[in-house]
Amino acid sequence: MYYIESSTVNFPAVRQIKVLILLYFERYHGVWLIFFLLGLGTLLPWNFFMNATMYFTSRLKNSSLVGSSANQTEAACEHCNILEAKFNNVMTLCAMLPLLVCTCLNSFLHALISQRLRVMGSLLFIMLIFIITTILVKVPLKPLPFFSITMVKIVIINSFGAVLQGSLFGMAGLLPASYTTPIMSGQGLAGTFAAFAMICAIASGSELDDAALGYFITACVVIFLSILSYTILPKLDMCIPTRTF
């Protein structure tokens, strides 16, 4: 057995190395968690918005036709049925077209607008839209104005969502590949969580308005957590796995 003289070991240096290694893992996992929340915040709001499709189509049925004449009722119902039938198609168009355009524009926006402004601005605008959507659950509207407002909200959500996703992946691309994984994991969880929430809402027999209210409030909470995590991110060092102490 060999013994090492205590004078040859620099215990403060060893302790400092242990502290640095501990800080490395804490910061790495902290940044990993923040990227995970940001990935969750990019897709979960839109997935929850699509979960409420039955709520949106139910709002397109005019319930104020009881005292109307037969001809007026028939004409109004026909108009409402057109809006209800075309809702999914128009929603897909209003979602995919802005997503495509803004994804392409994001390639040029990075040179004109700072990354922090793009990410924070997108999150704040999406959160504002979901707050408005949550309020409108309890506000009665006629089918045509409700349809128009909903389509405008879809365009805004997907426009800023495209900018947010592009900026987030661009930020992760400056770091090692291990930082891209939490973004993809967060987006995967967003779809899983949305499907699970929809199953729970159906199984519990909740009213469409109550289920939609729960979807939108949850989306607002997730977006708020994403904003909070992004404000914390600059305070953490970007720990590169190949970094030596």
Judge whether residue 244 has pLDDT over 60: no
Q: Averaged over 160-185, what is the pLDDT?
A: 84
- For 75, other C-beta atoms within 10 Å of its C-beta total 13
DSSP letters, 37-62, are HHHHHHHHHHHHHHHTHHHHHHHTS-
Domain 43-233 = CATH 1.20.1250.20 = yes
Q: Whole-angstrom Cα distance, residue 110 to residue 24? A: 30
Q: Averaged over 156-185, what is the pLDDT?
A: 85
Judge whether residue 165 has pLDDT over 60: yes
Q: Which residue type sits at 108?
A: F
Long-range Cβ contacts of 77-81 (<8 Å, 24+ apart): 79/143, 79/144, 80/143
Q: How confident is the model at residue 20 (pLDDT cuts 50, 70, 90)?
A: very low
Which has more confidence, 54 or 74?
54
Q: How confident is the model at residue 196 (pLDDT cuts 50, 70, 90)?
A: very high
Q: Whole-angstrom Cα distance, residue 101 to residue 104? A: 5
User: Tens of pLDDT along 36-70?
Assistant: 899 999 999 999 999 999 999 988 875 443 333 33
Return the pLDDT at 9: 42
Range with the poorest average pLDDT among 25-34, 133-142, 159-168, 192-201: 25-34
Judge whether residue 129 has pLDDT over 90: yes
Domain boundaries, the chain: 43-233
DSSP letters, 97-133, are HHHHHHHHHHHHHTTTS-HHHHHHHHHHHHHHHHHHH
User: Tens of pLDDT along 93-113?
Assistant: 999 999 999 888 887 877 788
Return the pLDDT at 234: 74
**Backbone angles phi and psi of 111, in degrees to 5:** -85, -15
Both tokens of 155, joined, read 């365009």
Long-range Cβ contacts of 235-238 (<8 Å, 24+ apart): 236/27, 236/30, 236/31, 236/34, 237/27, 238/31, 238/175
Residue given tokens 């949550």 in the structure block:
134
Q: How confident is the model at residue 15 (pLDDT cuts 50, 70, 90)?
A: low
CA atoms within a 13 Å half-sphere pointing along the CA-CB vector of 163: 25
User: Tens of pLDDT along 213-230?
Assistant: 999 999 999 999 999 988
Long-range Cβ contacts of 90-93 (<8 Å, 24+ apart): 90/151, 91/53, 91/56, 91/150, 91/151, 91/154
Check if the beta carbon of residue 37 is closer than 8 Å to that of residue 187: no
What percent of the chain stands above pLDDT 90?
33
